[in-house]
């Protein structure tokens, strides 16, 4: 009789330990999924920031491209017209625009 009570207590204790471990594992799994959800939401929020940054950079690139293209057209027109002074000034303007765009690109990327 004593052995049966002792065996019942041991089996009950083991069952209690196993139950507690299963509950702890279930809670850890739920917490892990919650962490994943938080990270996914953060990632989705960052996509909007990335889109806005790209839009701003595209606007900047369009302005730079327009300035460089206009300076190049001016330089080619002055060279084709045969005016060395005007061609030199136009080439200097073109070089300045290209250098300016290179500096601003480095500043944006860093």
Give the model confidence (pLDDT) of 31-87 as tens digits. 999 999 999 999 998 998 888 888 888 888 888 888 888 888 887 887 777 777 777
Q: Is residue 68 part of a domain?
A: yes
Would you state the pLDDT for residue 18?
97
Whether 38 is covered by a domain: the verdict is no
CA–CA separation, 82 and 84 (whole Å): 6
- Is there a contact between 94 and 102 (Cβ–Cβ < 8 Å)? no
In a domain, 3, yes or no: no
Q: What is the domain range of residue 83?
A: 52-110
Kindly state whether residue 45 falls inside one of the protein's structural domains. Answer: no
30 in any annotated domain: no
CA pseudo-torsion sign 32, 33, 36, 37? negative
**How many structural domains are present in the chain?**
1
Surface-to-core class of residue 89, CB atoms within 10 Å of its CB (0-12 exposed, 13-18 middle, 19+ buried): middle
Overall pTM > 0.75: no
């Amino acid at each position: 009789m004593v052995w049966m009570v002792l065996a019942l207590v041991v089996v009950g204790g083991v069952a209690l330990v196993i139950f507690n471990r299963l509950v702890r594992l279930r809670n850890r799994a739920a917490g892990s999924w919650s962490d994943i959800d938080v990270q996914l939401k953060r990632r989705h929020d960052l996509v909007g920031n990335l889109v806005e940054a790209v839009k701003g950079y595209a606007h900047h690139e369009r302005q730079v491209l327009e300035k460089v293209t206009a300076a190049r057209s001016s330089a080619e027109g002055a060279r084709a017209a045969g005016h060395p002074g005007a061609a030199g000034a136009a080439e200097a303007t073109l070089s300045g625009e290209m250098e300016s765009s290179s500096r601003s690109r480095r500043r944006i990327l860093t």
